[in-house]
Amino acid sequence: MREAGAGGLLSQFEVILQPERPYTPQDADTFRRTAEQLRAVPGVAGVISPFLTPADLARAQGTAADGLAASILLNQRSFSRGGDYLRLTVIPDEYLRADQIDALAAQLRAAAESQGYRAWLGGAPIGEREFSRALENAFPKVVLSVFAATFVLLLLAFRSLVVPLKSIVLNGLTVAAAGGIVTLVVQRGVGAAWLGFPPDTGVLDATLPLLLFTVMFGLSMDYEIFLLSRVQEAVQRGESDEDAIAEAVSRTARIITSAALIMFVVFAAFIGSRVAVSKSVGLGLAAAVVLDATLVRLVLVPAVLKLAGRWNWWLPGWLAARLPHIRVKH
């Protein structure tokens, strides 16, 4: 569509105007000026309005009869039955990226209201921005919900306040680092050409932060449970914290590495896709798996457990008396 010069058709704005009183033929000049104001906005290729003549439409359609039929349809789509609302369709010069929508929308709204109308904007670009904002508003709630659920489950499983907090912080670091890598490549263009990303992507898909966080946090917690359950088992057998950590790492390193390698191959395959969103998801998940299975799970987690020592299993007496006993063993 873009190569054919018709990319703007993918980003059409629907402009709804509400006059102070129902529309009459005497208001045609005001309506016409509004269409002209919208057409004059930089970045606008054309405006579909009832003021296109049958001759204009015939040139586009091919015959005078087609042009007349199209003119009738234009009038039907441009006026509500009672004349309370008017409709114009604005076609931009080219397809709009997410970061270009708000600026043009503000200019169109100002142009539409310059003639005294009350204006609403809709269409694909506005729907895209509303969807993006809905996801952005939901993201903090999702993060807090996942953190809260993870904390409660780990508290019940390991009867500790330190272990859940440590797990949430380190897993959060993994997710943040992987998200940073995706942003660096997709949005900043670092290594984008080498990985096959389009050079003009420039923005992240609105679904990516939410999708990457939920999937990556779950994967990271999977490895966390492998390691912590082994540490807890050794401590319950009477071994020192240092020996328990060393034994847990030695017993889980191979399975963590093997599982991570399998998942890395699967996720890396998505990078070979020709769809930017799929490539971004694959890149983020592959990066998260590598970071989690190496730096975090085999270096940072054991180091933090060793430094915390006996505080790893600290739990206030009043809370310990109220928590159910759940054994985590594999």
Copy the structure tokens of residue 22. Answer: 């129902």
C-alpha 108/C-alpha 103 separation (Å) is 9
Determine the pLDDT at residue 300: 87
pLDDT digits (tens, 9 = 90+) for 185-216: 888 888 888 888 877 666 778 888 888 898 88
Q: Are 84 and 210 part of one and the same domain?
A: no
C-alpha 96/C-alpha 126 separation (Å) is 11
Domain that holds residue 121: 7-126
pLDDT digits (tens, 9 = 90+) for 72-84: 777 778 888 888 9
**What integer best gives the mean pLDDT of the chain?**
84
Q: Are 164 and 266 part of one and the same domain?
A: yes
Determine the pLDDT at residue 41: 93
pLDDT digits (tens, 9 = 90+) for 133-185: 999 899 999 999 999 999 998 888 888 888 889 889 988 888 899 989 998 98
Q: Of 67-71, 150-154, 162-166, 253-257, which range is least confident? A: 67-71
Q: Are 96 and 240 part of one and the same domain?
A: no
Q: Are 32 and 113 part of one and the same domain?
A: yes
Q: Are 30 and 104 part of one and the same domain?
A: yes
Determine the pLDDT at residue 51: 82
Q: Is residue 138 part of a domain?
A: no
pLDDT band for position 66 (cuts 50, 70, 90): low
Contact 126, 18 (CB under 8 A): no
Q: Are 11 and 79 part of one and the same domain?
A: yes
pLDDT band for position 63 (cuts 50, 70, 90): low
* Region for 44 from its dihedrals, namely left if φ exceeds 0, alpha if ψ lies in -120 to 50, beta otherwise: beta
Determine the pLDDT at residue 70: 67
Domain count, the chain: 2
- Measured torsion, CA atoms of residues 199, 201, 180, 172, in degrees rounded to the nearest 10: -150
Q: Are 60 and 168 part of one and the same domain?
A: no
Determine the pLDDT at residue 53: 63
pLDDT band for position 234 (cuts 50, 70, 90): confident
Instruction: Report the percent of the chain where pLDDT is more than 90.
Output: 28
Pick 29 or 56 by higher pLDDT. Answer: 29
pLDDT digits (tens, 9 = 90+) for 85-98: 999 999 998 888 88
Angle between helices 162-182 and 276-291 in degrees, nearest 10: 140
pLDDT at 60 over 60: no
pLDDT at 260 over 60: yes
Q: Is residue 56 part of a domain?
A: yes
Average pLDDT for 259-279: 89
Determine the pLDDT at residue 330: 54
Determine the pLDDT at residue 142: 93
The domain that holds 313 is classified in CATH as 1.20.1640.10
Determine the pLDDT at residue 87: 92
Q: Is residue 306 part of a domain?
A: yes
Q: Is residue 282 part of a domain?
A: yes
pLDDT digits (tens, 9 = 90+) for 281-322: 999 999 988 888 888 878 888 888 888 888 888 888 887 777
Q: Is residue 2 part of a domain?
A: no
Q: CA 52 from chain center: how many Å? A: 39
The domain that holds 35 is classified in CATH as 3.30.70.100
Q: Are 296 and 165 part of one and the same domain?
A: yes
